[in-house]
Amino acid sequence: MLHKCEGIVIRTTDYSESNKIVTIFTRELGKIGVMARGAKKPNSRLSSVSQLFSYGHFLFQKGTGLGTLQQGEMSSSFRSIKEDIFKTAYATYIADLLDKGTEERKSNPFLFELLHQTLQFINEEYDPEIMVNIFEMKMLPVLGLYPVLDRCAVCGSKDGEFGFSIRENGFLCHRCFQVDPYHFPMSISALKLLRIFYFFDVNRLGNISVKPETKEELKNIISSYYDEYSGLYLKSKKFLKEMDRFKGML
């Protein structure tokens, strides 16, 4: 049976001399794997649509295991991302996180829209570091993680100074700081942004300008939270950290 889906390529794997296994995150069916026969040949009609980040409509033969990609009509290649090594690194991590954090053929139109919008923003010169942070926060419920971000995770208070406790799974008010001596201190800006990233629709965010020191706060908290709870150890994340160190030396 033939299926047509709107989707974005999130992973490609070479298979034999001329074929590729392509993982596509689709609006209709969630994540699917398909064999793109002959896609590695330069003159193949599947060559461009089977590249990483290709967005469009895909026609494939569905099987019990891998489907077979028959044809694709590309709407966007996110060219600006592909032409910039830093944007490529951030987008690759986003695709990798989505790939490792989702099951095969489990429909989630919200996640598809989030992926599409995030890549579109990065392609349009929005800050890729902030877009990664937003994507990471939006992925937490998908991974079964629900940090407490609207009150103190210990006493429930909604006023006062706050920090973030990995151990207590969320915000910690100043009255409860002693509960976790290793909590992260937080500026008002970082606190507000963490809430916004988690609760608000990405389409309503607009282009956010964030100070370098606030970015560092957000990155440290989100990375530590993922390290503690997600169980995901991604090579693409390790590369991002190395890239950040390199940028800091420039």
pLDDT tens digits, residue range 67-77?
Answer: 899 999 999 98
- Per the domain annotation, does 197 fall within a domain? no
Q: Is pLDDT at 250 greater than 90 in this prediction?
A: no
- Per the domain annotation, does 162 fall within a domain? no
What total of structural domains would you count in the chain? 1
**Residue 50 lies in domain:** 2-143+230-248
pLDDT tens digits, residue range 77-136?
Answer: 899 999 999 999 999 999 999 999 999 888 999 999 999 999 999 999 899 999 999 999
Q: What is the mean pLDDT of residues 177-187?
A: 97
| Position 1 confidence tier, pLDDT thresholds 50, 70, 90 | confident
- Per the domain annotation, does 85 fall within a domain? yes
DSSP string, 161-216: -EEEETTTTEEEEGGGGGG-TTPEE--HHHHHHHHHHHHS-GGGT------HHHHH
For helices 188-199 and 212-229, give the axis angle rounded to 10 degrees: 50
pLDDT tens digits, residue range 31-40?
Answer: 999 999 999 9
pTM value? 0.93
- Per the domain annotation, does 210 fall within a domain? no
CATH number at residue 115: 2.40.50.140
- Per the domain annotation, does 37 fall within a domain? yes
Q: How far apart are CA 127 and CA 132, in angstroms?
A: 9
- 202, with CB counted inside 10 A (0-12, 13-18, 19+), is middle
**Assigned token pair, 241:** 């950290």
- Per the domain annotation, does 108 fall within a domain? yes
- Per the domain annotation, does 194 fall within a domain? no
- Per the domain annotation, does 76 fall within a domain? yes
For residue 230, give every residue at least 6 positions away whose Cβ sits within 8 Å of its Cβ, in sequence order, or none: 101, 143, 145
Q: How far apart are CA 70 and CA 91, in angstroms?
A: 26
Amino acid (one-letter) located at 116:
H
The confidence score (pLDDT) of residue 249 equals: 63
For residue 116, give every residue at least 6 positions away whose Cβ sits within 8 Å of its Cβ, in sequence order, or none: 8, 55
Amino acid (one-letter) located at 67:
G
| Position 184 confidence tier, pLDDT thresholds 50, 70, 90 | very high
Q: Is the dihedral of CA 127, 133, 138, 142 positive or negative?
A: positive
